[in-house]
Structure 1
Amino acid sequence: MTLVLPLKPAETSPETLANHWPVLLRNRSSGPIQAPWWCDRNAGDEPLRLLQACPRYAPTNLICLPRTAERLGLGEIWIKDETQRLGIGSFKGLGGAYAVLKLAMKHVERRMGRTILPAELFEPRVRSMLTELTFSCASDGNHGRSVSAGARLIGARAVVYLHGGVSDERAAHISRLGAAIVRVAGDYHDSVEAAADAASQDGWIAVPDTVGPGEDDTACTLVVQGYAILIDEIVSATTEQSKPFTHVLVQAGVGGLAASVFGHGWARGLFGPDTHLWIVEPELSACLYESARAERPIRLPPGPATNMAMLECQSPSLLVWPIIDALATGFLTVTDEQASDAVRLLNAGISGDAPLRVGESGAAGLAGLVKAADDRRDQLGLDQSAKVLLFATEGPTDLSVWSGSR
């Protein structure tokens, strides 16, 4: 199903966000939520089946940060460490790679006239069919790495479109996986449009991680479905814990991870009825925050760059916006300085907490938590009874400018 919603220009520019209190609170939808199939209870089963065929697949760690919780006056803080995911160093490894494998299987099944098993993707006869495939996507860095890794695994080709703001270091991470790089003038959404146009013209398989008005969402749903594995791993890791999470903070660009966490988390019973589900975004690129304020998906005008580059997106993915709109109870924005402070806090560890080497985008959730605890602790229920879930979504991608080295 393709969701077609109006995408209207923002009525305020990113620079005006500083004039708003950086936490927008809302009531969760009171009616029943009709969850799409890509975040239902069993959404993670098929992605896990395919990704277990990858040599580097292993569950990532859910880490307790008791000293950080004590410092912030909270009961518990848990953080899902995605910095080691599939050798890619980001949760994105779950989405793009799975979509490539699933789409490759469908291609082979059409050719052979029967279903195949994941292991058959690596058999010589099947691999000869896959060498004729080219997968393409746009990326700020990590999605391109995931798509490229998936294509390389099965012997297919990958072409990744990068806008001018993507650093040479991030481009090099993708190139090392064998992908061809195409540079595009403009911002992230310009690269998304260029990738889609090229795929349509050349007969490639597009693997986008965002959907605009009227666009085919087939591949994007697979990308977001892959993120369900992350929630399944958290459910397994917390089986013996009786107290549910009271606050869940997920950093967001176009919103794919947040929608999967919120939707699949609800389907798996990970959250209680009063759990706060919050989106955290860069102050300079907060398309979900502004969409929530406008009560419709909007597109921000181009603005200044943020050090949370993996979250620098101008509009929500229309595939996932309905879930975020229905389930999110808060939207927070953080500054570049606050993200840098969170990087240094995680990198150093606090009085025995495990140090985590996390990029600025990966530390945004903690930055949002610190900001919320400092500004409106009582109003937001951030006290000794709070049990908070965060996500270290990625390691550092640009070491030359990484806050942890300064």
Structure 2
Amino acid sequence: MFTPFKTATLNHHASTPLFDGSVTQTLNRADFDNAEKEISNWDGYAETPLLDLPGLAGRLDIGDLRYKHEGPRFGLGSFKALGGAYAVLRTVQRELSKSIGKQADPADIRHGLYAEQTKAITVISATDGNHGRSVAWGAAQFHTHCRIYIHAEVSEHRADAMRKLGAEVISVDGDYDATVAQTRADAEKHGWLIVSDTSWPGYTQPPLDVMSGYGVMAREIVQSYATPPTHVFLQGGVGGLAAAVTAVFHQKWGLDAPRVVIVEPELAPCLFASAKANKATNVEISKETIMAGLSCGEPSELAWSVLTDAAHDFVTIPDSIVGPMVRLLANGVGGDASVEAGESGVAGLSAVVAAANQLTLRRNLHLDANSRIVVIGSEGITDPSIYAQIIAGEI
């Protein structure tokens, strides 16, 4: 059952958190409050399940293992539904407020009271799939035009899902970072508004909005715990998800917050490289990982300021354990319920299973029978054809 995880090569870098305040100041409580108040009023909002996996925990000889299943989120298949769409609303709200000379009410925007004005606004974004789908959905909800930029490795199913939401989808040569560069060039040329989940010098507000939206998910988690878990394993990417969860956990539990372990594909380890260099560091992606949503070579500087303040460990995982992890979840372990998860969604859990089965890493991450671990199942089935291939053992 665990053979691929026992033999997999994981790289580990232990970091010393600074705890200088960035973890609670970069993303503040008021921004999370505003996002929670708004998103909880959207049609279709429902708390996603925090699944207990006692069968798998027992086989790994850890005390407790819970999986936040984001597949059902707003029918969009991933946690990204919270961030991109909320950032679209905030971007539209700021632009509209300037044109009408007063603060536009988000509820009025949602209900179409300013539809004629918002139709003249174009929001654009780069994506590997899930963020773009959320931006496209948000643009439809808030009555604005949308252009999404994708690279060649984004599947046709994911591209078509965005088209069906009304977005214009543009293919760009190169990887994810090339699509980000193209959005920046086109935004400057045409006056379009970028809604990105990554920040760069001079561009911070929409990424902050995105991460504030992710905080809704993190707050759902903390409400389920009477005492904090000991560990949280968080997918990397540009760092937005990890930063938001880490910030909410520290706002709730302070220094009693769980040990933060950042997990990335070995093919796209920009946060791992940043931790080793002790500064935000880009990496070149020479081959795309199966974990498409995590194929990012350039970290968000805002997210990095949070992670360098509070993350304890950075781990990279090989693609070889992703398919086995998806299949283990689908089959259930030791009586656990079957869970349908996407490739990026199992990154954190894959690292848990591999680390628990390798003595050195188990010791370095302080995993034992008393460990209580939470992971983020960040996506469900976002491409049925890829999922079918994984279940069939073809990937």
Q: Quick check: TM above 0.5?
A: yes
Name the SS of the counterpart of 2:256 in structure 1. strand
CA contact (8 A) 2:78 2:380 kept: yes
C-alpha spacing 1:124/1:62, structure 2 compared with 1 (3 Å): closer
* Displacement of 1:19: 12
Q: Deviations over 1:126-185 (max 9, x none)?
A: 111111111100000001000000000122111000011111111111111110011100
- Residue identity in the other structure for 1:249: F
Asked if structure 2 preserves the Cα contact closer than 8 Å seen for 1:343 and 1:360, the reply is yes
Deviation sequence 1:333-390 (CA, Å, 0-9, x none): 1111111111111111113212111011100111100111112323422111000010
Tell whether 2:215 aligns with 1:232.
no
1:121–1:300 distance in 2 versus 1, CA, 3 Å: same
Q: What percentage of aligned pairs have identical amino acids?
A: 35
Q: Which residue of 2 is the match for residue 269 of structure 1? A: 253
Superposed CA offset, 1:9-49 (max 9, x none): xxxxxxxxx998612112222x5323465522333221122
2:238 aligned residue: 254
Question: Secondary structure of the residue that 1:182 maps to in structure 2?
Answer: strand
| Structure 2: unaligned runs, 5 residues or longer | 1-6
Query: Secondary structure at the residue paired with 1:42?
Result: helix
Within the alignment, does 1:147 sit opposite 2:135 as a pair? Answer: yes
Distance 1:87 1:103 in 2: 23
Contact 2:232 2:261 in 1 (8 A): yes
- Structure 1 residues 34 and 364, CA gap change in structure 2 (3 angstroms): closer
Which of 123, 132, 137 is the matching residue for 1:135?
123
Identify the residue that residue 4 of structure 2 maps to in structure 1. none
Structure-2 change in CA distance of 1:38 and 1:27 (3 Å): closer
TM-score by length of 2: 0.92
Q: Does 1:306 align with 2:280?
A: no
Q: Return 5+ residue gaps in structure 1 as ranges.
A: 1-17
Tell me how far apart the structure 2 counterparts of residues 332 and 120 of structure 1 sit (CA, whole Å).
44
Among candidates 89, 106, 119, match of residue 118 of structure 1 = 106
> 1:41-70: per-residue Cα shift (whole Å, max 9, x none)?
333221122223421211111111111100
What is residue 181 of structure 1 aligned with on the other side? 169
Matching residue's letter, 1:325? T
Report deviation, 1:114: 2.8
Q: Secondary structure at the match of 2:344?
A: coil
CA contact (8 A) 1:38 1:222 kept: no
Q: Tell me how far apart the structure 2 counterparts of residues 318 and 197 of structure 1 sit (CA, whole Å).
A: 20
Q: Which of 56, 59, 66 pairs up with 2:54?
A: 66
CA displacement 1:305-331 (0-9 Å, x = unmatched): 211111011121112111111211001
Q: What's the offset of the Cα at 1:186?
A: 0.5
Structure 1 stretches (4+) deviating beyond 6 angstroms? none
Aligned residues: 383
Q: Are the equivalent residues in 1 in contact too, given 2:15–2:312 (CA < 8 A)?
A: yes
Q: Is the 8 A contact 2:127 2:176 kept in 1?
A: yes
Amino acid at match of 1:190: A
CA gap 1:93/1:21 in 2 versus in 1, 3 angstroms:
closer
Q: TM-score, normalised by structure 1?
A: 0.90
Equivalent pair of 1:38/1:225 in contact (CA under 8 Å): no
Give 2:28's aligned residue.
40
1:168 aligns with 2:156: yes
CA contact (8 A) 1:50 1:101 kept: no
Q: In the alignment, is the contact (CA less than 8 A) between 1:50 and 1:102 conserved in 2? A: no
The equivalent residue for 1:211 is 199
**What SS class does the counterpart of residue 336 from structure 2 fall into?**
coil
Q: C-alpha root-mean-square deviation of aligned residues, in Å? A: 2.0
Change (3 A) 1:125 1:378: closer
8 Å contact from structure 1 (residues 162, 183) kept in 2:
yes
Q: Work out which of the residue numbers 90, 94, 101 in structure 2 matches 1:102.
A: 90
The DSSP-based 3-state class of the residue aligned with 2:230 is strand
